[in-house]
Each structure stands twice: as structure tokens, then as C-alpha cells.
Amino acid sequence: MDVNRGSPYQRGGQGSSELHKFSHNIGSNIQKISQNVKSIKQLVNQLGTDQDNQQLRSQLKNLNIKIAQTVMNIYTLLIVQYFVVQHYTGGLAKDTNVEIKTFQNYAIPAGEDPRAWQMQIDRLTKEFTQALNDFQTAQRQAAAKEKEALKEAKAQSDAAFFENETGGSALVDLSGKSNKSSQMQIQMEQEELQALQEREAQIRQLESDIFDVNQIFKDLATMVHEQGEVIDSIEANVEMAQQNVGQGASQLNQAAQYQNKARRKKLCLFIIFAVVLAVLILIIVLSTKN
């Protein structure tokens, strides 16, 4: 019997191609950040000199927005890359589980020592169980980090919204450049919201993969009765990881809803500020004519 027969996951062509693609995109984004940082340093050196003007400050603001957007893209790519790896690993676990069950039920060739074959099966099963346990631990750690990252993202959204709401720059300058900057900021917020929604879908996939690993543990418990207590302990850890992932998905949904509401509030404030400014200009024009 060929216990090393290639499966789609074991051949890994598509998974490897995806990882190379993500790595290339991440490297490209890092280069963009470095280039923009150099430009920012040049602009900062001009602040407070005779070259300091509104155009210079607008360029500096736009570069900061671009860098923030690129950083978000890199973070999203890293998250996607993790899910590609962990989903690929889950596929390997499924294939290995099938191979072990086939190996165990395979007829021992005549003249072979059954005890030697059984020892080999036991050894492979224990090694597989340990690998799955490590995999499950990594999944739980990833879920915890995602939950912490969501808290930080929500805190940053709170701070950014407060700063934009209390700032007076929108009343001072409503020129074409300022409008372009506001549009870029709104576009970045929309992309961040979309990224949160994509991460929510990815976490749901992670939850599904954890269910699959849990089923594999149950199969192993059926095959190896003497390891029953160890398997039960691992299953309990998997269920705990599932609960943590569920909480992470809920946090993602809340963060997405919050960003959507914050974006609508800022649009309303922008419209109100524009109307107030138009009224003030009209009053000044009428007073001048009188």
C-alpha cells in the first residue's frame, strides 16, 4: 500500500502559489511605505522654513493617509496568509487521518510480524496526535491575537473619529485639495471596513476548520482506546478554541458596524459644516453690498 499517495493538499501547488503571491504583495507594499516615508522626511524638513505653505502641508497629510492605507493592506495580507497556511494544514490533517485509518485496516502481508506493524501504527498515531495538538494550540493563539487586534482597532477608530469631529480644519478650507483629502480618507475607511468583513469571513472559516480537527480527534479516540483520556483533553481544548473564535467573529462584526456608523456621522458633520460656511459667506456678501 502506498501510504504517501499525493493528495491536493500534499502536492500543495495552489497553496504554494498563493503564499508566493501574498509574499510578493507584502514586499511591494513595504517598499511603497519606505518610499513615502522618505518623501515625508523631505517635506517635514521644509516645515517652518520659507518653503512652508498650505500646499506643502496638504502633501504631507496625503502621504500620511497613503502610508496608513498601505499599512492596513499589509496587515490584511498577513492575516490572509495565515489563514491560507492554517487551512492548508487542516487539509493535511484530514488526509493524514484517512491514511492512518487505511493503514490500520490494511491486511498485514503473510510472514510479517503483526506486533511490529502495530507498534508502527501506535507510533504514527501518537506523533499525529501531538502534531494536531500543536496545530490546535496555534489556532487558539491566533484567535486570541485577533481579538486583541480588534480591541486596538476599535480604540484607534474612536480616537480618529474624535479628532476629526473636534478639528476645525474643515471650516477653514473647503478647497478642491481639501475635498480630495476628505475623499481619500473616506475611501480608506471604506477599505478598512471591507477588510474587517473579509477577516470575519476568514475567522468563520477558521471555526469550520476547528470543527474538522475536532472530528479527527474523535476518530483517533475511536482507533486508539488507550489514548482516550489524552484525546478527551485535546477535544476540550478545541471546544474552548471554538468559543474564542466565536467571540472574535462577534468582535469583528461589532467593529465593522461601528466604523460604518462613524463614517456616516463624519459625512453628516461635513455637510453641516459646508452649509454653515455657505450661510456665513452669503451674509458677508449681502453685508458688503449694503
Burial class (CB in 10 A: 0-12, 13-18, 19+), 134: exposed
Q: How far is CA 137 from the centre of its chain?
A: 19
Whether 21 is in a domain gets the answer yes
Q: Which of 243, 266, 80 is nearest to 166 (CA)?
A: 266
What pLDDT is recorded for position 84?
Answer: 72
Q: Which of 3-17, 54-68, 178-192 has the lowest mean pLDDT?
A: 3-17
How many domains would you assign to the chain?
2
Question: In this predicted model, what pLDDT tens digit does every residue of 1-60 receive, in sequence order?
Answer: 443 444 444 444 555 676 677 677 777 777 877 787 787 777 777 777 777 777 877 777
Whether 81 is in a domain gets the answer yes
Contacts of 19 (CB under 8 A, 6+ apart): 81, 84, 85
Whether 126 is in a domain gets the answer no
Whether 236 is in a domain gets the answer yes
Whether 166 is in a domain gets the answer no
Whether 7 is in a domain gets the answer no
Whether 115 is in a domain gets the answer no
Q: Confidence class of residue 172 from pLDDT cuts 50, 70 and 90?
A: very low
Most confident option among 15-19, 154-158, 263-267: 263-267
| Whether the predicted pLDDT of 194 surpasses 80 | no
Q: Which of 35, 104, 100 is nearest to 67 (CA)?
A: 35
Whether 235 is in a domain gets the answer yes
Q: Indicate the residue among 61, 78, 104 that finishes a domain.
A: 104
Q: Which of 157, 235, 195 is nearest to 75 (CA)?
A: 195
| Whether the predicted pLDDT of 148 surpasses 80 | no
In whole angstroms, give the CA distance from residue 247 to residue 204.
11
Q: Indicate the residue among 104, 124, 147 that finishes a domain.
A: 104
Question: In this predicted model, what pLDDT tens digit does every residue of 249-262 receive, in sequence order?
Answer: 666 667 667 677 76
| Whether the predicted pLDDT of 61 surpasses 70 | yes
Query: Which CATH number fits the domain that encloses residue 92?
Result: 1.10.287
What pLDDT is recorded for position 158?
Answer: 57
Give the residue numbers spanning the domain of 216. 183-263
